[in-house]
């Protein structure tokens, strides 16, 4: 039986030993490697390759606004009660969409569209209609239910009537941020989601025909205990979302100012935090959820689970995805595009972003053209993080290197991890063990060449694995 079909194993001593700080590998190389002074010519060339190959598109639209601050938040957001701030932003966003669309061969279908934030539903219904119509005018969105068109929702910002409107706009997948239903936890993080209201929204989404629902949860929040979180999970399981994200709360107040309002003394002790995770995994598996990999669970008949079974699962900025063949075009402040062999990121500062577009320029701030070595390592990390096994011959057929020679140092560095039971290496390839799945970041980090040169920054920049 493949490890994918087995319940996750738990080995506390091993988990403690390998619970280091490390990247989440939503990209490789990771964002800290992006460099300022990005040459637009590289972007044009990558765009032209995508056009020639008629690669399908995945569009990401970032809406940064939120009406209240959740103290734990590590996202790129702007908290404001001044709704007028959306106007210049939407004008800039629409211009950016037009400027990028001008370069796109219109025979390329949009397989995926995702609005993230911040809180996309901070916009009112009219603004959302206007933005979607603009996207539709500029890009060939697929008709019917052929595309995966999703958005992130703070439950307090919508009603069943608003969901109806979103469905009419063409969205067919929703992701609700729940985080935790416990009242004390909610007060400690200033984030309030009433269980009954979420249940009403989930029921409405189903009857409106949204084909997939995801709920976000966070473990490790202040005032959380294994007992309290088990109750939240019970309620969540009753709602039967197709997918679940169970994020590890990353307490990094030196990076995220809002987190300074969280009292470190109220955070669960490391031992209790591990118990919350362990119990949650058990509870979810007993309820029929499959552990996909880092932070993600899905029902066994979900497309994500199927993609993992048939070897087509991919990792991208939203976590795991089924549309790996696409060029990712991103719009909005701080958003990151991923084209053939390059990443490019927009300004993180909203004024700089808007000013660039007011002057009719794209708002790129940083980027990276991937070297041959980056591309190889990206494939290796993607393969391991999505499928937990890597076949040398299969990789060599794609990469034109002899794997065991090219990665001799990495294979040697993996030996202690193999001795500890995280994986097996033989002449044919690498197979991550059942217990190794939870610690996949430690395994991927061995292939990350940039960590070797920036080791001293790792603990400041990245969260703990578990």
Ligand X SMILES: C[S@@+](CC[C@H](N)C(=O)[O-])C[C@H]1O[C@@H](n2cnc3c(N)ncnc32)[C@H](O)[C@@H]1O
Using CB under 6 A, list all residues that contact ligand X.
66, 72-75, 116-119, 152, 154, 177, 179, 216, 218, 247, 249-250
Alpha carbon separation from 293 to 321, 386, 410 (Å, rounded): 12, 7, 22
Closer to ligand SF4 by Cβ: residue 221 or 277:
221
Question: Are the beta carbons of 155 and 198 closer than 8 angstroms?
Answer: yes
According to the binding rule CB under 6 A, does residue 177 interact with ligand SF4? yes
Q: Could you tell me whether strands 423-425 and 78-79 are parallel, antiparallel, or unpaired per DSSP bridges?
A: unpaired
Name the one range near ligand SF4 by CB under 6 A: 17-25, 64-72, 279-287, 375-383: 64-72
- Whole-number Å distance between alpha carbons of 398 and 404: 14
Closer to ligand SF4 by Cβ: residue 117 or 436:
117
Closer to ligand SF4 by Cβ: residue 119 or 172:
119
Binding partner of 69, given ligand X, ligand SF4, none, CB within 5-8 angstroms per partner class: ligand SF4
Q: What's the closest the beta carbon of residue 191 comes to ligand SF4, in angstroms?
A: 6
Closer to ligand X by Cβ: residue 142 or 461:
461
Binding partner of 218, given ligand X, ligand SF4, none, CB within 5-8 angstroms per partner class: ligand X
Closer to ligand SF4 by Cβ: residue 8 or 69:
69
Q: What is the DSSP letter of 255?
A: T
Residue with tokens 């390759």: 49
Neighbours of 257 (CB within 10 A): 11
Closer to ligand SF4 by Cβ: residue 154 or 223:
154
Closer to ligand X by Cβ: residue 118 or 367:
118
Q: What's the closest the beta carbon of residue 75 comes to ligand X, in angstroms?
A: 4
Binding partner of 86, given ligand X, ligand SF4, none, CB within 5-8 angstroms per partner class: none
Q: Could you tell me whether strands 148-153 and 173-179 are parallel, antiparallel, or unpaired per DSSP bridges?
A: parallel
Q: What's the closest the beta carbon of residue 218 comes to ligand X, in angstroms?
A: 5
> Which tokens in the block code for residue 164?
């109806």
Name the one range near ligand SF4 by CB under 6 A: 87-95, 111-119, 241-249, 269-277: 111-119
Binding partner of 224, given ligand SF4, ligand X, none, CB within 5-8 angstroms per partner class: none
Closer to ligand SF4 by Cβ: residue 119 or 383:
119
Number of residue whose CB is nearest ligand X: 177
Q: Could you tell me whether strands 78-79 and 65-66 are parallel, antiparallel, or unpaired per DSSP bridges?
A: parallel
- Whole-number Å distance between alpha carbons of 20 and 165: 44
Cα 93–chain centre separation: 22
Q: Could you tell me whether strands 212-219 and 243-248 are parallel, antiparallel, or unpaired per DSSP bridges?
A: parallel
According to the binding rule CB under 6 A, does residue 221 interact with ligand SF4? no
Question: Are the beta carbons of 77 and 89 closer than 8 angstroms?
Answer: no
User: In this structure, what are the phi and psi dihedrals at residue 265, rounded to the nearest 5 degrees?
Assistant: -70, -20
According to the binding rule CB under 6 A, does residue 73 interact with ligand SF4? yes
Closer to ligand X by Cβ: residue 48 or 169:
169
User: Among the residues of 256-332, which ranges form H helices?
Assistant: 270-286, 303-309
Q: What's the closest the beta carbon of residue 65 comes to ligand X, in angstroms?
A: 10
Q: What's the closest the beta carbon of residue 267 comes to ligand SF4, in angstroms?
A: 17
According to the binding rule CB under 6 A, does residue 117 interact with ligand SF4? yes
Closer to ligand SF4 by Cβ: residue 77 or 165:
77
Q: Which residue among 14, 66, 158, 414 contacts ligand SF4 (CB under 6 A)?
A: 66
Closer to ligand X by Cβ: residue 198 or 417:
198
Question: Are the beta carbons of 315 and 25 closer than 8 angstroms?
Answer: yes
Q: How many residues bind ligand SF4 (CB under 6 A)?
A: 11
- Whole-number Å distance between alpha carbons of 131 and 65: 15
Q: Could you tell me whether strands 57-63 and 110-117 are parallel, antiparallel, or unpaired per DSSP bridges?
A: parallel
User: In this structure, what are the phi and psi dihedrals at residue 146, rounded to the nearest 5 degrees?
Assistant: -70, -30
Binding partner of 169, given ligand X, ligand SF4, none, CB within 5-8 angstroms per partner class: none
Q: Which residue among 75, 237, 401, 413 contacts ligand SF4 (CB under 6 A)?
A: 75
Q: What's the closest the beta carbon of residue 154 comes to ligand X, in angstroms?
A: 4
Smallest Cα–Cα separation from 416: which of 88, 12, 18, 10? 18
What DSSP letter does each residue of 213-252 carry, written as one string?
EEEEEEES-TT--HHHHHHHHHHHHHH--SEEEEEEP---
According to the binding rule CB under 6 A, does residue 213 interact with ligand SF4? no
- Whole-number Å distance between alpha carbons of 324 and 87: 33
Alpha carbon separation from 417 to 15, 268, 274, 383, 440 (Å, rounded): 12, 29, 21, 18, 11
Q: Which residue among 77, 243, 387, 431 contacts ligand SF4 (CB under 6 A)?
A: 77
Q: What's the closest the beta carbon of residue 250 comes to ligand SF4, in angstroms?
A: 13
Q: What's the closest the beta carbon of residue 78 comes to ligand SF4, in angstroms?
A: 9
Q: Which residue among 62, 94, 108, 154 contacts ligand SF4 (CB under 6 A)?
A: 154
According to the binding rule CB under 6 A, does residue 319 interact with ligand SF4? no
């Amino acid at each position: 039986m493949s490890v994918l079909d087995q319940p996750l194993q738990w080995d506390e001593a091993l988990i403690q030993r390998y619970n280091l700080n490390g990247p989440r590998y939503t990209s490789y190389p990771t964002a800290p490697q992006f460099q300022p002074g990005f040459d637009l010519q590289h972007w044009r060339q990558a765009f032209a390759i995508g056009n020639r190959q008629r690669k399908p598109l995945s569009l990401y639209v970032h809406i940064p606004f939120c009406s209240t601050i959740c103290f734990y938040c590590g996202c790129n957001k702007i908290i404001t009660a001044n709704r007028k701030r959306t106007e210049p932003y939407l004008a800039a966003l629409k211009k950016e969409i037009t400027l990028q669309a001008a370069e796109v061969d219109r025979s390329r279908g949009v397989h995926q569209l995702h609005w993230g934030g911040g809180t996309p539903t901070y916009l009112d219904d009219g603004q959302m209609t206007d933005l979607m119509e603009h996207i539709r005018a500029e890009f060939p969105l697929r008709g019917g239910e052929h595309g995966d068109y999703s958005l992130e929702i703070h439950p307090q910002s919508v009603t069943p009537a608003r969901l109806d409107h979103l469905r009419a706009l063409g969205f067919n997948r929703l992701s609700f941020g729940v985080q935790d239903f416990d009242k004390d936890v909610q007060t400690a993080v200033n984030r309030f989601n009433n269980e009954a209201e979420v249940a009403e929204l989930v029921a409405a989404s189903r009857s409106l025909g949204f084909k997939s629902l995801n709920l976000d949860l966070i473990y490790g929040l202040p005032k959380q205990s294994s007992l309290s979180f088990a109750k939240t999970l019970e309620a969540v399981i009753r709602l039967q979302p197709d997918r679940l994200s169970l994020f590890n709360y990353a307490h990094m107040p030196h990076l995220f100012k809002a987190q300074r309002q969280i009292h470190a003394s109220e955070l669960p002790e490391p031992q209790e935090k591990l118990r919350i995770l362990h119990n949650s995994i058990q509870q979810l598996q007993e309820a029929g959820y499959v552990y996909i990999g880092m932070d993600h669970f899905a029902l066994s008949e979900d497309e994500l689970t199927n993609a993992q079974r048939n070897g087509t699962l991919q990792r991208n900025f939203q976590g795991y995805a089924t549309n790996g063949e696409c060029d990712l075009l991103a719009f909005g402040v701080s958003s990151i595009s991923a084209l053939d062999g390059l990443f490019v990121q927009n300004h993180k500062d909203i004024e700089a972003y808007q000013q660039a577009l007011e002057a009719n320029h794209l708002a790129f701030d940083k980027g990276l053209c991937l070297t041959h070595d980056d591309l190889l390592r990206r494939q290796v990390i993607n393969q391991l993080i999505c499928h937990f096994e890597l076949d040398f011959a299969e990789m060599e057929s794609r990469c034109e290197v002899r794997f065991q020679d090219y990665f001799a140092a990495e294979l040697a560095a993996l030996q202690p991890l193999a001795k500890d039971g995280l994986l097996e290496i033989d002449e044919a390839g690498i197979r991550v063990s059942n217990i190794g799945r939870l610690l996949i970041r430690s395994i991927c980090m061995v292939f990350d060449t940039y960590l070797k040169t920036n080791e001293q920054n790792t603990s400041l920049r990245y969260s703990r694995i578990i």
